[in-house]
Structure formats: C-alpha cells, structure tokens
C-alpha cells in the first residue's frame, strides 16, 4: 500500500470515529481501573466530588439572585447547575451517578459474584463519600460567612424545591437524570475536545427539565437539614432513597443495558 493510500485510510478511519464496541471498551477499561483503585483514594475523591458539586447549587443561586424577573431567566439560571458537574467530571473525581454505568460495564461482561461484590463496595464507598462532601459544603453555606448572605434565600428556595417532590415523583424525575449522566459518560470518549460542551448541555438539561440528581440534590437536602428545616425521615424517604433508586434505574438498568445490548454479540 502506498503512503498516499495509507494516509487516506487513516483519514477515513478518523472520520468514522469510534464504533460502539470501542466506546464500550474504553468505558469498561475506565471501570476496571476505578475498581482497582485503593479504597482510600476512592473515598477522598468522592468527598471532593461531593464538595465541588455544590458549585451547581451555588451557580444556580447566583443567577437566580441577580437575573431580572423574566421568562428567559429560568433557562439562563440553569446554566449555573452545570458548574459543579464540569469541575467534578473534567477533574475525574468520583461521582456516584457516573459509576452507575462506568463500573457496571465490567460487571456485565464478567457477571460473577466476585465482580458484583467489588462493584457494590465501590458504589457504597463513593455514595457515602459524596454525601459526606455534600454535607460539608452545605454546612459551609449555612453556618459560615463563606457565602454572601444575599445568596442564601435563593439557595433555600432551590433546596426546598428539589426536596419537595412526592416520593414517587422524585423517583420518576430521577430516571431521566440517571440516563443523561450515563449519556455523558458514553459520549465523552468520542467528544474529541468538546467534552466541556457535552457536560454543559446535558447537565443543563437535567436542571432545565427539573429532574432530580442524588449528589447535587444531597447538597440541597443537607442545606435544609443542618438548619433543622428538613426532618431526617422526610429527607431519607421522600428524597434520598427515591432519587437514588431513580438514578440507578436510569443509569444502569436502562442506559447501561441498552449500551451493552448493542455490542454484546460483538464482544469476545
């Protein structure tokens, strides 16, 4: 084959992009790498993610406080929701809803009790760490001078709205959020330098669609709880557990299974 022909073949190959099987393999290897990380590293990364995801609540509150009262303000305000996700995902911190697809793909290819145990352990560590980080950030919002006082009414308003759904509605609204976060994970290997915009647009959709997310929502839940404005049983059974179940259903049982279904017959 001539050099010219080889160059043409490389151009065509690059233009075609990654096949679904290769995207699956990229994410699966990421999942294997996460499963092999030390538990202490997972924990601290998860705490960092829980703290930094609070930027989503803060970003929305800033826009809500200072934007004029207009019909278009809602759409702009929800761009603030993307701030925390951009930091966490681009910073490769441990976010629970990312792991509902990333670490599940290795389990789907190797469905053994040992692998199931490893995935469950990682999920437990990351979820607990995310919640600890969320409470730390919420305490800083509510009980320190780190946040300007003029932003606090907007944070409380956002928090009451996020935690105010009936349990079944919170569960159902969490399903699209789980799918959208899993879609981000699936698209990033093929984003080719546009990952920032993929994360920005799809997390904006979570906020604009008024869907519920377990980690960002935990900051709002914690903000009310640390001030005695939300009882533990209401936080747990009306918000946390329904949203957790919905995010898992959307990210794992729907998106990950669909992603696996389209490549399972091509895998070795």
Look at 111 and 2; give whichever has higher pLDDT: 111
The answer, yes or no, to whether residue 10 has pLDDT greater than 60, is no
Give me the pLDDT at residue 110, please. Answer: 85
Q: Residue 98 — pLDDT band, cuts 50, 70, 90?
A: confident
Q: Which domains does the chain have, with CATH numbers?
A: 18-266 (1.20.1080.10)
pLDDT band of residue 266 (cuts 50, 70, 90) is: low
- Judge whether residue 154 has pLDDT over 70: yes
Widest CA span in the chain: 74
Other Cβ atoms within 10 Å of 208 Cβ, number: 14
Give the Cα separation of 84 and 170 in Å (integer): 21
> How do residues 104-141 score in pLDDT, each as one tens digit?
888 888 889 999 999 999 999 999 999 999 999 999 99
Task: Give the CB-side neighbour count of residue 202, counting CA atoms within 13 A.
Answer: 23
pLDDT in the model for residue 16:
53
Instruction: For residues 173 and 103, give the distance between their C-alpha atoms in angstroms, rounded to a whole number.
Output: 23
At 27 the pLDDT is: 85
Residue 220 structure tokens:
């709002």
Q: The tokens of 27 are what? A: 């994410």
Looking at residue 5, what is its pLDDT? 57
Please return the burial class of 149, using the count of CB atoms within 10 Å of its CB with bins 0-12, 13-18 and 19+: exposed
221-254 pLDDT tens trace: 999 999 999 999 999 999 999 999 999 999 887 7
- Residue 21 tokens, joined: 């099987």
Q: Given pLDDT bands bounded at 50, 70 and 90, which one contains residue 187?
A: confident
pLDDT (0 to 100) of residue 67: 95
Instruction: Quote the CA–CA distance of 157 and 161 in Å, as a whole number.
Output: 6
Q: Check residue 3 and give its pLDDT.
A: 55
Nearest to 176 by CA among 206, 148, 151: 206
Give the DSSP per-residue string, 149-185.
GGGHHHHHHHHHHHT-S-HHHHHHHHHHHHHHHHHHH
Which residue, among 161, 84, 167, has the nearest Cα to 130 in the 3D structure? 84
- Both structure tokens of 179: 């799918």
- Residue 11: pLDDT band by 50, 70, 90 thresholds? very low
| Per-chain mean pLDDT for the chain | 89
| Burial group, residue 161, by CB count within 10 angstroms (0-12, 13-18, 19+) | exposed
DSSP 189-250: GGSTT-HHHHHHHHHHHHHHTT---HHHHHHHHHHHHTTT-S-HHHIIIIIIHHHHHHHHII
pTM for this model (two decimals): 0.88
The Cα–Cα gap between 235 and 109 comes to 36
Residues 150-174: what's their mean pLDDT? 97
Q: What pLDDT, on the 0 to 100 scale, is given for residue 12? A: 41
- SS3 of 17, please? coil
Query: What distance in Å separates the CA atoms of residue 172 and residue 249, rounded to the nearest whole number?
Result: 10
User: How far is the C-alpha of 67 from the C-alpha of 65, rounded, in Å?
Assistant: 6
- State what percent of residues in the chain have pLDDT above 70: 90
């Amino acid at each position: 084959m001539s050099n010219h022909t080889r160059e043409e073949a490389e151009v065509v190959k690059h233009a075609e992009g990654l096949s679904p099987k290769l995207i699956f393999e990229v994410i699966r290897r990421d999942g294997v790498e996460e499963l092999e990380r030390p538990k202490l590293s997972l924990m601290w990364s998860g705490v960092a993610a829980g703290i930094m995801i609070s930027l989503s609540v803060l970003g929305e509150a800033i826009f809500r406080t200072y934007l004029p009262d207009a019909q278009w303000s809602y759409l702009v305000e929800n761009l603030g929701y993307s701030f925390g996700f951009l930091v966490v995902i681009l910073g490769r911190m441990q976010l629970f809803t990312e792991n509902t697809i990333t670490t599940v793909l290795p389990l789907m290819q190797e469905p053994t009790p040992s692998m199931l145990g490893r995935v469950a352990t990682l999920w437990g560590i990351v979820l607990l760490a995310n919640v600890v980080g969320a409470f730390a950030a919420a305490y800083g919002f509510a009980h320190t001078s780190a946040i300007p006082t003029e932003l606090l009414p907007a944070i409380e308003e956002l928090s009451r709205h996020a935690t105010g759904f009936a349990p079944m509605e919170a569960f159902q609204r969490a399903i699209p959020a789980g799918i959208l976060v899993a879609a981000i994970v699936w698209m990033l290997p093929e984003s080719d330098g546009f990952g920032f915009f993929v994360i920005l647009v799809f997390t904006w959709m979570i906020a604009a669609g008024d869907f519920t997310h377990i980690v960002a929502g935990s900051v709002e839940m914690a903000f009310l709880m640390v001030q005695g404005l939300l009882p533990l049983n209401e936080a747990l059974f009306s918000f946390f557990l329904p949203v957790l179940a919905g995010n898992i259903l959307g990210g794992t049982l729907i998106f990950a299974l669909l992603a696996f279904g389209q490549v399972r017959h091509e895998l070795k």
